Structure 1
Amino acid sequence: MRLRHLSVLGAVTALLTFPVQAQAAPSGHTYQVSPQGSDQAHGSRTSPLRTIGACLERVRPGDTCLIHHGTYREQLTPPSGTKNSPITIASYGDGPVTVDGTDRVTGWKDAGGALIAADTDLPPALDFNAVFLDNTRAMEGRWPNSGADPLNATWAEADATSTDQHIDDSDLPDANWTGATVHLWAGSNPWAQQTGTVTATASAALDFKGGNYRCPPLCMGNQTYRNYYLVGSKAALDQPGEWFYDKATHRLFMVPPKGGIAGHTVTAKHRLWGVDLTGSSYVTVRGLDLWGTSLRTGRSSTGVVVDGLHARYISEFSTLPMPPDSDLAVEPFEGNIVASRILDSGVQILGTGNTLKNSEIAQSAGDGVLVRGTGNTVTDNYIHDVGWMGSYTPGIEINGNGHTVTHNTVRRTGRAAIDTAWQLNGTEFHDNRIAYNDISEAMRTSRDGSPFYVCCSLNGSGTSIDHNTAHDADGQNGYYVDNYSGHFRLHHNVAWNTGSRGVYFNGHTGPSIANEDHNSSYGVGINVASSALGGATDASGSYFSNIIGPKPVTATQTGNPLPVVRSNLISATPGYTDAVNGELWLTPGSPAIDAGEKVDGVTTDILGTAPDQGAYEYGAPLWSTGCDLPGCQQRVRHGRWSATSSDGSNASAAVDGDINTRWADSTPQAAGQFLTVDLGESKTFDRFTLDAGRDTSGQPYGFALSVSRDGTHWGEPLAEVHGRSFTQDASLRHRTTARYLRITLTASGPAPWVVNDIRLYGEGPDAASTLQAEQATEVRGTDRGTAAVSLGAGDRLGMRATNIDGTHLTVRVAPHCERGCSLQLRLDRPDGRVAAEVPLNGTGDWQERSVPLKQTLTGSHDLYLVAKGNGRVADVDWLTIRSATAAPAT
């Protein structure tokens, strides 16, 4: 018999959402701040201060600044508290509290040439300027024009006659581009991007200086990749909202919106660090919003807690210079260009023993989060849309030792989702824990890398990378330990749709010592190796076991002792629940059950006669990855999708859920060609993703997305996409529900268009997917474990804005009630309408209970699972709402 149990972390009674009201320290004084206050006031509730800065001038250890709803255009520099009496800066709880790093630009005048201009000083270094039009990021003047999404860039392609410092391009407009910044994504294997300065222009040509490090892998010339664009020139201003700042005259130029600038608001960045804690320790910052600015602690900071931060547009820059020698932990050389801007972007958690939690970090040209120092914690954060400038700036950059990085959701990154840069970190990377993170949609502006990336020559002793999921990325691997690094232990990780491999340890003609991968599960979209160690001159002590995957597990047989590869299941049908949707847990009868071996330091609970192979122990509650904040779950469940092209041919490879299969049209791209996708049932979504793979020749030059409920009547396009990249997103203005999609080309191109994969995303989870109980956005009166939730009578868990189209509720539970107990599914409120009720009579092991809904549910609802009965009612693992005819994708 396989024993079953629930491991509980502890009681969770708070609703994790924004803003969060702070509680003052019992022994301290509380000051209140409001936009309607006065800095000469007492700071009481009835007589609040006007600025947060005035409050910070008054506080002492143990004191609190409670801040009322409003926008505060100032930089916060708190004093230090003490270990037992921290200083607290917190939202009062009556609405968003925004620390805004921008100031309004006024005094606009006609500047000729269909431009307007305003005289203004932009204080940050020129490379860090940012401008916003009506609270939306305005694009710096750019050629060729690009859309609003910086991770969906439009590139020019230089002619093959170009050389290292020279570009030929017959499409280049005749203009004086001298002084402009040229941004390069070029070379035979462009794993990073670079910038240079235009020194001279001629008809259809320009010369530039800078960039081109390590030619040929990363340089312009007659290379496989010759992508570039130009910014920082008045000549590029040609569409509404574009701007250019003339540093000599201190004038900001802009193409005005249609109808003129009247009635519109323009702001520009003035403060890089809206919350500057570089000289602070023992400070708690809770429930603040940041706009156009960021937060940082310092090297000497300790005891800082940042909780419930909501930060947008945290870092902006337009150049990628070589890091200064003073920042480098290794000898300077030209390859260190890849580490550009890592140390001067993102939300920065530096020092010792500091924490960032329960926060959303979004929109950054560089890092999402930089964690650096010793013993810091980054947990339960949602980090997305970062790293678009294409250096090694990731969602989370980890430098140093003893850090804990867990339960974060990181998606849509230019390169890696989680990364460490040895140029800045040095060769040590010991005793770090990186676990329970969900990392996806990485490698949007690069081709050689992975969602989790380590480079190079690092010693990872004591570091554990475990219980993570990597998927839907355009790089080569899910987890990539590159170039001579050793002593890294990976276990209980999951990867699918990550390209060549699930995990790769790259010796690269050097040592790759004592690296390990155990109990990991790899699924579809991996076509070379499930787990591999290659190219090593010495692979002593490496060990690979208990792995499930579709492709072999391999290791270079060098070293003493030789690498061990054993007890692995290589099969296209290992008994996964739903491989296409990443549900790689085992079903009854899987050959992986009880087929594994014990591994010291890895094997914990054994349910049965022996450990299982793979990442999930059969019969145990399912552990989950990522954060439990609103927005952390968005991927729409893949079902029985089908597709046909405009010529009537079958395009099923475009919708089979495997990024390594592809559909290609039979003729070069032409406006009007289309694909029609049948989702099999209605789905609710607000973002469509077209993955064209890492071969740039077939990327669409432009397309429009339309939807239909019946496959016959089509409305106007909901979104149009221009430009070319590995993966292109169509973001809808409003959430839509439809069964049929039509992707229609709007531009011509020299090669047939290609689709490797189509994915849908919705604001909120898809109830047809397996919704993990421990990822509920609201829990009240419950025990939340690492893989399940324990509910007592009257307890509940809630999931916000869940997209539903189904007829049956299924719950996986372990009941603890002899009689008279149930789980009620209620809509929109904890006491809302009962949509279904699951009776729970008797106690037992984990089991699936399915009941019909009282009526078919569609649309978006808040869902609440409420326990009724006496005492401890049940442990809940997961729930789904599906149609009775819906079957798992294969």
Structure 2
Amino acid sequence: MRPRNLSVLSVLAALAALLVTPAPAQAAASGAGRAYHVAPWGGEGARGSADRPLRTIAGCLSRVRPGDTCLIHRGTYREQLTPPSGTEDAPITIAAYGDGPVTVDGTERVTGWKDAGDGLVAADTDLPPDPDFNAVFLDNGRAPEGRWPNSGPDPLNTTWAQAESTSTDQRIDDPDLPDADWTGATVHLWAGSNPWAQQTGTVTTTASGKLDFRGGNYRCPPLCMGNQNYRNYYLVGSKAALDQPGEWYYDETAHRLYLVPPKDGIAGHTVTAKHRLWGVDLSGSSHVTVRGLNLWGTSLRTGDDSTGVVVDRLRATYVSEFSTLPMPPDSDLAIPPFEGHIVASRILDSGVQILGTGNTLKNSEISQSAGNGVLLRGTGNTVTNNYIHDVGWMGSYTPGIEINGTGHTVTHNTIRRTGRASIDTAWQLNGTEFHDNRIAYNDMSEAMRTSRDGAPFYVCCSLNASGSSIDHNTSHDADGQVGYYIDNYSGRFLMHHNVAWNTGQRGTAFNGHAGPSVGNRDHNSSYGVGINGSSVQVSNATDASDTYISNIVGPAAIHVSQTGDPLPVVRSNLITDKPGYTDAVNGELWPAPGSPAIDAGETVDGITTQVRGSAPDIGAYEYGEPIWSSGCNLPGCQQRVRHGTWTTTARDGSDASAVTDGDINTRWTAASPQSPGQSLTVDLGEAKTFGRLSLDAGRDTSGQPYGFSVSVSRDGTRWGEPLARVSGRSFTQDAVFPRQTTARYLRITLTASGPVPWVVNDLRLYGDGPDAATTLQAEQATVVRGVRRGTAATGVLGSGDRVGFRKVHVGGGRLTVRSASSCARGCSLQLRLDAPDGPLLGVVPVRGDGDWREQSVDLKREVTGTRDLYLVAEGGRRVAAVDWLTIRS
């Protein structure tokens, strides 16, 4: 029998450092410094007072001294900010005032458009000196560079051409290639037997159905054209590619920008082009706080000597754009150069960059980057509680977060939709310096969109990670091979309490690659559905000294290559198809009552610190303790719609159960080659609210739809017009709807023909906000009042204290709350709708001895739609601590 938890305080004492709701922006001025106001309606020579603001932020920065503040009023500022340094005791602050969005825009308007013939318009304009970094925006949306074959607006849903197997290292054979002069164009390659990086080259000659190029193919094989598994490519950087509205081409010799205008002409439309790579340049600054700014078409960086910089509540969109992947210069490399270093291309010149020592990026959203989301270099920097998504679409090793250096803290970030890894380290730039880093409580999903040989968490190579801990992370729904991949001779990685599902062949892999894999450890991790090779693998290690794997629960065997001496220690693991998880398909891999993982583990010093019962549990969660969560608590951080009893029917009568079984490794294949009208109909079992559908073809190199539409229905009988149309052949395809949609049925219908049958491995839905049928973790609440939050639960709520979740998709009438209370009588947790004092939906009475308990009550009425939910404590000074809640039918 497991002993009682006699005190809620004893349960909560171990919770980590807490995230506190930020103070209002108007209170940005601190200390005895002066506050200057800036507004677009201000004057150049104004005093900077509230009634006589300055016009530009640069004007304010020319005046500030340590301790001063620039308060920025709503508006768009097309300028580059280069702040002076403050001091440790008196930082300089640049903050949004709080009266509306403040945007630092890196673009300038392009005017003077004239007819250029062939359906094009052109404007004479000077764009930045390096044409590789040009970006153009049409009516505040990204305009794609002209390319063949055409692709949709989402660069992570790219369309590829496929070369013939007769192609060679520097020649592409393709009978579908349009007859045009492609000389000088950039050819982008994703090719080879198992391509782990993309490359670019320059077309030298063209002929009917073929072209020659130079560059690319730095390693052949496996990264080359020819008779390979992958022979994908596309062309950009040529006027010949301009054939659909919004596409552009810049003639750098003539300084002329060509554009295919919208169908109604260019009049009335706005075109802007990127002019400033760094809208906020802190490369020479220290002790500066930047708070509440938006960046558009530009980025932010600190410098190698920066310290004490705090970037808070940044929203950066379209931070980096480029079209080529050159070999990094030797001066950028930390170890002697060789041809494999193509993978490090563009890491040092893209993304939001936090360099130096003791700097912080927090509470921010970073999105839309051809390269990094965030580059982290130096010593002792912190990246925490950020939402990073839709980055790395050029397919090099630029990830959501690139970590170089030592002593960094990377925690509570959500990283979603990346070309390759979510979190990565580039050893070519980092050298062997990668130690004493903490990477924890991050949620990584939808990674490896344009690669296969990799993982959401990937490190390479020859790194000594002594003192580093990679713990309490979740990795899921990715098309690589592994959830966590420690590649090529790297050692001393301490992995523990990590979770992975739907990551392909393996949960975690340590690859000795005919070299050492020394001191690597994986303890108390949980691996779930969608892993069909090995839960943990140690491969080809000539020396596995001090490598130790224990307390692992997973569906597939732990595999250790029988080479090397000594072999790893492998013990106290649970390999079973019946682990007793709460909800494996939805990634809830914590043990349910009766799980064989309970009390079945071994003690590991420093790892199994929260033990309840006779022994540690196997896996990432300790039964009876609060359930820790990963990722950020910002809007957008929780989007995956809970997978219920979903069923799929194929029009051709084939068994389509694999489409909605929640396992990325199972596959449905249509009965015949693709043709318009083929369809899949999905019954979600109940109405769900969603805004995006992801159709995943796994690791297949063919079979993706050449085009499809998505329609929805509430009753399965009446169907409206398609809400989304998708074309192209990307390996995972997303249908994005123009608005949030609530429906029970979906129909996916092919709109184009293709030479091979249609395949689907997995179908997922995403909504703009959390799904209340999914477990809502209290520590991730968007509103917390009167109580502190930890990494696995709240503190003890007193009467009137509350946690709130905004814009939650609700569809049910039964509330379940997991809480711990020492209240003797008269205490309760009230669920209220839309406001803390809003309509009362249900009351959960709480009392007890401090143990964590789940309690369910029927609501006064079934609740549907997108609503704000508040759980409010009533009854005394110490009502209850809250772990999670759900609302289901």
Sort the TM-score into its range (normalised by shorter chain).
Answer: over 0.9
Deviation at 1:555, TM superposition (A): 2.4
Q: Identity of paired residues, percent?
A: 76
3-state SS, counterpart of residue 533 of structure 2: strand
Q: Could you tell me which residue of structure 1 aligns to residue 8 of structure 2?
A: none
For 1:538, the equivalent position in structure 2 comes to 543
Structure 1 unpaired stretches of 5+: 884-890
Sort the Cα spacing of 1:300 and 1:12 in 2 relative to 1 into closer, same or farther, 3 A: closer
Matched, 1:342 2:341: no
Name the amino acid aligned to 1:675: L
How big is the shift at 1:222? 2.1
Q: How does 1:24-423 map to 2 (within 5 A)?
A: 24-423=29-428
Tell me if 1:2 matches 2:19. no
Quick check: 1:22–1:286 contact (8 Å CA) kept in 2?
no
Paired with 2:37 and 2:392, the residues of 1 have a C-alpha distance of: 37
Q: Is the 8 A contact 2:301 2:352 kept in 1?
A: yes
1:539-618, aligned counterparts within 5 Å? 539-559=544-564, 561-618=566-623
Report how far residue 444 of structure 1 moved: 0.1
d(CA) in 1 for partners of 2:398 and 2:17?
35
Query: Residue 62 of structure 2 aligns to a residue in which SS?
Result: helix
More moved, 346-355 vs 864-873? 864-873
Q: 1:572 to 1:20 in 2, by over 3 A?
A: farther
Deviation at 1:816, TM superposition (A): 3.1
Q: How far does residue 844 in structure 1 lie from its aligned partner after superposition?
A: 3.8
CA deviation vs aligned residue, 1:459-480 (integer Å, no higher than 9, x gap): 1111100000000000000000
Deviations 1:176-221 (A, max 9, x none): 1111111001111111100011111111111111101100211112
Corresponding residue of 1:847: 853
Tell me how far 1:693 sits from its aligned partner: 1.1
**2:654 and 2:670 in contact (8 A); partners too:** no
Letter in 2 for 1:73: R
Question: 1-side partners of 2:880 and 2:118: how far apart?
Answer: 70
Q: Which residue of 2 aligns with 1:656?
A: 661
Residue among 844, 861, 885 paired with 1:879 = 885
Given residue 200 of structure 1, which amino acid in structure 2 is its aligned partner?
A: T
The correspondence of residues 797-876 of structure 1 with structure 2, limited to 5 A, is: 797-876=803-882
Once residues 58 and 245 of structure 2 are traced to their aligned partners in structure 1, the CA distance between those partners, rounded to angstroms, is 37
Residues 405-484 of structure 1: pairs in structure 2 closer than 5 A: 405-484=410-489
**1:560-583 deviation per Cα after TM superposition (whole angstroms, max 9, x unaligned):** 543100000000001100000000
Distance 1:841 1:463, change over 3 A: closer
* Shift in Å, 1:71: 0.4
Contact kept in structure 2, 1:20 and 1:308, CA below 8 Å? no
For residues 471 and 2 of structure 1, what CA distance do their matches in structure 2 show? 34
After TM superposition, the structure 1 stretch with the greater mean CA deviation from structure 2, 721-730 or 480-489, is 721-730
Q: Secondary structure at the match of 1:653?
A: helix
Tell me if structure 1 keeps the 8 A contact 2:304–2:356: yes
Q: Between 721-730 and 377-386, report the one with greater CA deviation.
A: 721-730
SS at match of 2:40: coil
Question: Which AA in structure 1 matches 2:269?
Answer: H
Contact 2:387 2:637 in 1 (8 A): yes
2:166 counterpart letter in structure 1: T
Question: For 1:435-457, what per-residue CA distance to the aligned partner results, in whole angstroms no more than 9, with x for missing partners?
Answer: 00000000000010000000111
TM-score (norm 1): 0.98
| Alignment correspondent of 1:796 | 802
Question: How many angstroms does 1:554 deviate by?
Answer: 2.5
Structure 2 unaligned residues grouped into runs of 5+: 6-10
Give the partner amino acid of 1:280: S
- Structure 2 residue 781 is matched with structure 1 residue 776: yes
2:757 maps to what in 1? 752
Q: CA deviation at 1:800?
A: 1.3
Whichever residue aligns with residue 14 of structure 1, its letter is T
Are the structure 2 counterparts of residues 124 and 406 from structure 1 closer, same or farther at C-alpha, using a change threshold of 3 Å?
farther
Q: Is the 8 A contact 1:782 1:795 kept in 2?
A: yes
Partner of 2:21: 14
Question: Which of 673, 681, 687 is the equivalent residue of 2:692?
Answer: 687
Describe the SS at the equivalent of 2:428: helix
Q: 1:220 to 1:130 in 2, by over 3 A?
A: same
CA distance in 2, matches of 1:68, 1:23: 13
State whether residues 652 and 671 of structure 2, in contact with CA within 8 Å, keep that contact through their aligned partners in structure 1: no
Q: Deviations over 1:743-792 (max 9, x none)?
A: 11111111111111100000000000001000001111112111001211
Name the aligned partner's letter for residue 775 of structure 1: Q
Secondary structure of 2:673 counterpart = coil
Change beyond 3 A, Cα 1:537–1:716? same
**1:141–1:232 Cα contact (<8 Å) kept:** yes
Q: Report the counterpart of residue 886 of structure 1 in structure 2.
A: none
1:742 deviation in Å? 0.6
| Whole-angstrom distance in 1 between the partners of 2:307 and 2:538 | 39
Amino acid at match of 1:580: V
Rounded Cα–Cα distance in structure 1 between residues aligned with 2:569 and 2:169: 45
Q: Distance in 1 between matches of 2:566 and 2:676?
A: 60
For residues 411 and 395 of structure 1, the distance between their equivalents in structure 2, rounded to whole angstroms, comes to 8
Instruction: Note closer, same or farther for the CA distance 1:22–1:147 as it changes in structure 2 (3 Å cut).
Output: farther
> CA offset at residue 14 of structure 1?
1.9
Deviations 1:594-620 (A, max 9, x none): 111111221212111111100000000
1:765 aligns with 2:766: no
**How far apart are residue 822 of structure 1 and its match?**
1.6
**Distance between the aligned counterparts of 1:395 and 1:651, measured in 2?**
34
Moved more, 363-372 or 738-747: 738-747
**Distance apart, 1:852 and its partner CA:** 1.1
In 1: Cα distance, 2:3 partner to 2:364 partner: 39
Give the residue type in structure 2 aligned to 1:186: A
**Range with bigger deviation, 409-418 or 159-168:** 159-168
CA deviation map 1:405-458 (0-9, x unaligned): 000000000000000010000012110000000000000000100000001111
Rounded to whole Å, the distance in 1 between the matches of 2:271 and 2:849 is: 63
Q: How far off its partner does 1:3 sit?
A: 4.5
CA distance in 2, matches of 1:423, 1:499: 27
CA drift of 1:125 comes to: 1.3
| Distance in 2 of aligned mates of 1:553 and 1:752 | 35
Q: Which moved more, 1:817-826 or 1:303-312?
A: 817-826
Residue 11 (structure 1) shift: 6.7
Secondary structure, aligned partner of 2:672 = coil
Mark the CA change 1:81 to 1:3 in structure 2 (over 3 Å): closer, same or farther.
farther
Q: CA deviation at 1:650?
A: 2.7
Partner deviation per Cα, 1:329-373 (whole Å, 9 max, x = no partner)? 111111000110000000000000000000000000000000000
Q: 1:13 to 1:451 in 2, by over 3 A?
A: closer
Q: How far apart in 2 are the matches of 1:115 and 1:778? A: 51
CA distance in 1, matches of 2:507, 2:16: 30
Does the 8 Å CA contact 1:33/1:65 hold for their aligned counterparts? Answer: yes
Name the SS for the 1:220 alignment partner.
coil
